[in-house]
Chains A and B, each alone.
Chain A
């Protein structure tokens, strides 16, 4: 049985991939969310700052506009701020350490058959699955 969430997932995924294709073929850039924001705030991306900021403005601004017109989807993010801060710190530090996240290593890396992208994706999937197992099923904190 096909669930509608899967269809939306596929359509949204095609949009994400088309965005990455546009950014690569028009601008000559890899669409990696962590690299684009990381380079904008830590001084390493000074040479193409305007392009980074334009991309980030679209990434934040267009969903804001869509939410305004069509209503905002629920994020269900936990209100437990200790978890939120810990998760944010880990995601920020980890993605910069590994030089990429789900979009850079996952979408752009795997489609290029990049060994680094594939290994990174396997590593964060494994770590995520293990964390879920321990934090949800053993400790019951999430």
Chain B
């Protein structure tokens, strides 16, 4: 049941990314291009996505566990550190450069052509790179 629902959530996420046009890199780059031909589509996507989640968090607040028994994830400590800021800045840089973030990169993996696959592999390498860096940091600290 857990796996089936996870698959369905992933599938609905992917289909939503597809329908919304977020696997089209020109739409994402157009949203970030405030000085050029600005494309507001992404605001509709983000707004539309936040609406069901506003309700979901309200429902979740009244429960201790999700339907399948897993505890509702606790809110993280509201700590703003350099890791959050520098990481987000680095992400924003790459996001603008190609017009892809992790969700759409995976949703379009089957139809994004060879360069879509190259992006995905480079993204995985970046993720592993951060893991290695943080492991090294933990060792010296």
Residue of A33, A38, A41, A99 contacting most chain B CB atoms (<10 Å): A33
Complex: A93 Cα to B65 Cα, angstroms: 32
A11's contact among B19, B40, B93, B129, by CB below 8 Å, is which? Answer: B19
On whether the beta carbons of B6 and A27 are closer than 8 Å, the reply is yes
A114-B15 contact in complex given A8-B20, A72-B111, C-beta closer than 8 Å? no
- CB neighbours (8 Å) of A98 from chain B are 83-88, 90-91
On whether the beta carbons of B9 and A25 are closer than 8 Å, the reply is no
On whether the beta carbons of A142 and B53 are closer than 8 Å, the reply is no
A24 to chain B, nearest CB (A): 5
B91's contact among A50, A78, A84, A127, by CB below 8 Å, is which? Answer: A127
8 Å CB contacts to A: which residues of B74-112? 75-76, 78-80, 83-103, 105-112
Q: Tell yes or no: A136 within 8 A of B by CB.
A: yes
- CB neighbours (8 Å) of A108 from chain B are 53
A128's contact among B3, B32, B36, by CB below 8 Å, is which? Answer: B32
Complex: A44 Cα to B132 Cα, angstroms: 12
A37 to chain B, nearest CB (A): 6
Complex: A54 Cα to B51 Cα, angstroms: 25
Complex: A17 Cα to B97 Cα, angstroms: 26
Q: Tell yes or no: A112 within 8 A of B by CB.
A: yes
Main secondary structure of the interface of A (DSSP, over half): helix
Main secondary structure of the interface of B (DSSP, over half): helix
8 Å CB contacts to B: which residues of A63-94? 63-64, 66-67, 72-79, 81, 83-94
On whether the beta carbons of A12 and B91 are closer than 8 Å, the reply is no
- CB neighbours (8 Å) of B123 from chain A are 88-89, 91-92
On whether the beta carbons of B96 and A128 are closer than 8 Å, the reply is yes
A94-B20 contact in complex given A9-B42, A17-B52, A67-B110, C-beta closer than 8 Å? no
Complex: A98 Cα to B95 Cα, angstroms: 14
Closest chain A residue to B43 by CB distance? A9
Complex: A10 Cα to B119 Cα, angstroms: 27
Q: A115-B80, A129-B34 are in contact. List 16 more A-B contacts (CB 8 A).
A: A12-B22, A20-B56, A26-B9, A37-B106, A41-B127, A42-B128, A58-B9, A66-B18, A67-B18, A67-B110, A75-B116, A87-B100, A92-B130, A97-B130, A99-B87, A119-B80
Binding site for B on A (CB under 8 A): 5-31, 33-34, 37-38, 41-44, 50-52, 54-64, 66-67, 72-79, 81, 83-99, 101-103, 105-108, 110-112, 114-116, 119-121, 123-133, 135-137, 142
